[in-house]
C-alpha cells in the first residue's frame, strides 16, 4: 500500500441545490474539472460546481462502498449530511485553482518605479529622485522629477 494515496467521496451542488455524489483519488483535480465544465453530463448540464461535502478514505473499496451508501439515501438524508458539517452550503473549494498572488514585503518592493532608500543621495539619483536646493534632508523635501511628492512609507 502506498502511503500517500487517498480516496475521496464528495458531494457537489449547484446554486439551486441539485446534488451530485462521486468518488475520486484526487479531489482537487476532480473539483476543478467540475468547476470548469470539463466533465460532460449531469454536472455540466445543471451547473453543479460547488463542493459542499467530502470524506477521505485510505482504501478505494471503502470509498466506493460509502459512495453507494450515500447515493442510496433519500435527498433529505443527504441534505442533513451536508448541513451537519456545512450548514451554510459554502463552497469548500472556493479559490482552488486561482492564481496565487505573491506577497512581497514593502522593504524590497518597487511600487510604480519608486524606490526610496533613506539618506542615500546616490540611491535617489538612480530612482529618478531629486532634492530641492534648500533641502534640509528630510523626507518631505524629496520630489520625483515630475514634481510629484513621494508618499510616506507608514
Does residue 53 fall inside a structural domain?
A: yes
Does residue 96 fall inside a structural domain?
A: no
- The fraction of the chain above a pLDDT of 90, given in percent, is 56
Q: Are residues 136 and 106 part of one domain?
A: yes
Does residue 94 fall inside a structural domain?
A: no
Average pLDDT over residues 104-125: 57
pLDDT bracket for residue 97 (50, 70, 90):
confident
Does residue 107 fall inside a structural domain?
A: yes
Helices and strands per DSSP (H, E), number in the chain: 5, 5
CA distance 6 to 64: 12
Average pLDDT over residues 63-87: 97
Average pLDDT over residues 30-56: 93
Q: Are residues 75 and 17 part of one domain?
A: yes
Overall number of domains in the chain: 2
pLDDT higher than threshold 90 for residue 113 = no
Q: Is 115 or 48 the better-scoring residue by pLDDT?
A: 48
Does residue 19 fall inside a structural domain?
A: yes
Q: Which of 89, 140, 148 is nearest to 113 (CA)?
A: 148
Q: Are 27 and 97 in contact (CB under 8 A)?
A: no
pLDDT higher than threshold 70 for residue 76 = yes
Q: What CATH number is given to the structural domain containing 80?
A: 3.40.1440.10
Grid coordinates standing for 119? 539618506
Provide the residue range defining the domain that includes 114.
Answer: 102-154
Q: Are residues 53 and 13 part of one domain?
A: yes
List, in order, residues 6 or more apart from 30 with CB less than 8 Å away.
Answer: 8, 10, 22, 24
Residue-level length of the chain: 154
Q: Is 124 or 76 the better-scoring residue by pLDDT?
A: 76
Does residue 141 fall inside a structural domain?
A: yes
Average pLDDT over residues 96-100: 77
Does residue 62 fall inside a structural domain?
A: yes
Grid coordinates standing for 115? 524606490
Amino acid at each position: 500500500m502506498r502511503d500517500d494515496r487517498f480516496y475521496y467521496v464528495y458531494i457537489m451542488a449547484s446554486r439551486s441545490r441539485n446534488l451530485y455524489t462521486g468518488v475520486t483519488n484526487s479531489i482537487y483535480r476532480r473539483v476543478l474539472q467540475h468547476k470548469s465544465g470539463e466533465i460532460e453530463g449531469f454536472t455540466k448540464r445543471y451547473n453543479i460546481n460547488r463542493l459542499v461535502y467530502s470524506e477521505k478514505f485510505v482504501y478505494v473499496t471503502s470509498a466506493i462502498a460509502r459512495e453507494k451508501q450515500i447515493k442510496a439515501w433519500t435527498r433529505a438524508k443527504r441534505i442533513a449530511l451536508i448541513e451537519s458539517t456545512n450548514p451554510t452550503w459554502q463552497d469548500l473549494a472556493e479559490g482552488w485553482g486561482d492564481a496565487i498572488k505573491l506577497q512581497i514585503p514593502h522593504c524590497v518592493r518597487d511600487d510604480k518605479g519608486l524606490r526610496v532608500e533613506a539618506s542615500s543621495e546616490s540611491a535617489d539619483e538612480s530612482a529618478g529622485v531629486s532634492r530641492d536646493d534648500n533641502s534640509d534632508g528630510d523626507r518631505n523635501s524629496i520630489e520625483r522629477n515630475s514634481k510629484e511628492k513621494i508618499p510616506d512609507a507608514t
